[in-house]
Amino acid sequence: MIAFLRSIDSKTWKTMMIGWTAPTVTNDNLETVKPEADWTGEEDEATLTNDKTLNVIFNVVDINVFKLINTCTVAKVAWETLETAYEGTQKVWISRIQQLTIRFETLGMEDDKTITSYNKKIVQY
Q: H helices of the chain, where?
A: 2-8, 10-18, 41-60, 63-69, 75-87, 90-105, 115-124
7-65 confidence digits (pLDDT tens): 888 889 899 889 999 999 998 889 999 999 999 999 999 999 999 999 999 999 989 88
Q: Is 56 helix (H, G, I), strand (E, B) or coil?
A: helix
Q: What is the chain's alpha carbon radius of gyration, rounded to the nearest angstrom?
A: 23
Q: What percent of the chain has pLDDT over 90?
A: 43
pLDDT for 59 equals: 92
pLDDT for 125 equals: 64
